[in-house]
A and B are shown apart, each in its own frame.
Chain A
């Protein structure tokens, strides 16, 4: 059974159609790139999967269930923006995640934080932007979730932080779980991906294994993306 499944998923904001009849299945064990230009519907799709938005029509199922309390136990979400309260210390955040998420592996998070020399007493407001993003990612990836939804995890961070983030995603790979990475920085994430989903104007243009693109078309996903979205 797919861990994420969209059936004719449509979302309209007033007159604007953000998602238009999207059909998509994502299987466990896969790392999937959700690729598209800004405003193509990536974030809308991720927000609906998290229950932060309700679809206009069609439906989305997480492990066979509509988004709700039960699916939130299975989904670990990294939003595009910093959402951690500034005043909180690392330790308080660990307590918070441990309190609310049964699948939170505190030891794993503590190990990763120790590797970065981030003391648990440090507060979010004392951190640089790059460190904040890393802490957020550590918290999100330390859950033993079934579906990780990462919205622009490497946007706006320096190359060293980018490598760290990508390595954290690889290091936490779990064959039982799917990872969806939305980004427009394709060259950086391409070696991580099993499959890519191209999305434009709320339509899925393609959903293909990366190997197939390279084998059949003899080009990288990045090159293909540039071609298919050239006119934009």
Chain B
């Protein structure tokens, strides 16, 4: 049943998101062609309009990720707490399956959106020698900070956990907001900021407390400090994940309030 839920969510979101992703990649190709054209011709009008076009392209890359996030949260609100919830919650599946399928699909599509955005930037400007220069540059940066190449994985893990945490925080905020009879959207936004503020306050306090421990001794090496703080933030995010998931679950299970 869980996989069926995932299948239907994927299908529904692909329908909306695929054209967006495809459009952005196409845009990247056009931008690449334009850049080439600008390099060939020394036309002032072309360079001005081309410059604006390129600016628009980079904004679109950012917009693609934001738009994906917005569509995902609207989809969650509509299908779990909106009118479509009448169907979702009368399917013979549990609340855990419903939430986890949404979580999985949201993380997948956010990753896809970020991948598409980065891919588009690469397509628009990419030249092989530059790519290797970039990776060399990053390698040098890591080396100067005394970090090992395995650090890439720590960064990836951190981004992944951060994404999951954010998605769950949004789910929790929407689930609380929609338990009100009026102003469901307003309360959802309000609780998003409330959860966000609470989370950052807790992490700040925890960091301050841990500052004085040996881990963050002034004598400690930069690499150790960086790795430790990364690990710490991943750990904290995992705890937040659990809390947000519980909130979303309990509000959906016990306090569902469909119009």
Q: How far is the CB of A184 from chain B (nearest CB, A)?
A: 19
Verify A52–B89 contact, CB threshold 8 A: yes
Interface residues of A in 61-103 (CB under 8 A from B): 68-70, 72-73, 75, 77, 79, 81-85, 87, 96, 99-101
Verify A85–B12 contact, CB threshold 8 A: yes
Q: Which residue of A lies closest to B258 (CB)?
A: A52
CB neighbours (8 Å) of B56 from chain A are none
Verify B256–A53 contact, CB threshold 8 A: yes
CB neighbours (8 Å) of A53 from chain B are 256
Verify A99–B259 contact, CB threshold 8 A: no
Is A50 close to B, CB under 8 A?
A: yes
Is A51 close to B, CB under 8 A?
A: yes
Is A220 close to B, CB under 8 A?
A: no
In the complex, identify which listed stretch (B43-51, B79-87, B115-123) lies at the interface while the others stay far away: B79-87
Interface residues of A in 13-69 (CB under 8 A from B): 47, 50-54, 68-69
Bin chain A's interface residue count. 20 to 34
Complex Cα distance, B79 from A79, in Å, reads: 15
Complex Cα distance, B154 from A179, in Å, reads: 57
Dominant secondary structure at the A interface: loop
Verify B86–A73 contact, CB threshold 8 A: no
Q: How far is the CB of B78 from chain A (nearest CB, A)?
A: 8
Verify B254–A54 contact, CB threshold 8 A: yes
CB neighbours (8 Å) of A87 from chain B are 15
Q: Which residue of B lies closest to A80 (CB)?
A: B86
Complex Cα distance, B86 from A50, in Å, reads: 9
CB neighbours (8 Å) of A83 from chain B are 83-87
Verify B15–A81 contact, CB threshold 8 A: no
Q: Which residue of A lies closest to B11 (CB)?
A: A92
Is B155 close to A, CB under 8 A?
A: no
Which A-B residue pairs are the 7 nearest by beta carbons?
A: A83-B86, A72-B92, A79-B86, A73-B92, A100-B91, A77-B90, A83-B83
Residues of B within 8 A of A (CB): 1, 4, 7-8, 12, 15, 79, 83-87, 89-94, 253-254, 256, 258-259
Residues of A within 8 A of B (CB): 47, 50-54, 68-70, 72-73, 75, 77, 79, 81-85, 87, 96, 99-101
Q: Would you give 15 A-B contacts (Cβ < 8 Å), ordered by A?
A: A52-B86, A52-B256, A54-B253, A72-B90, A72-B93, A73-B92, A77-B86, A82-B83, A83-B83, A84-B84, A85-B12, A99-B7, A100-B1, A101-B91, A101-B92
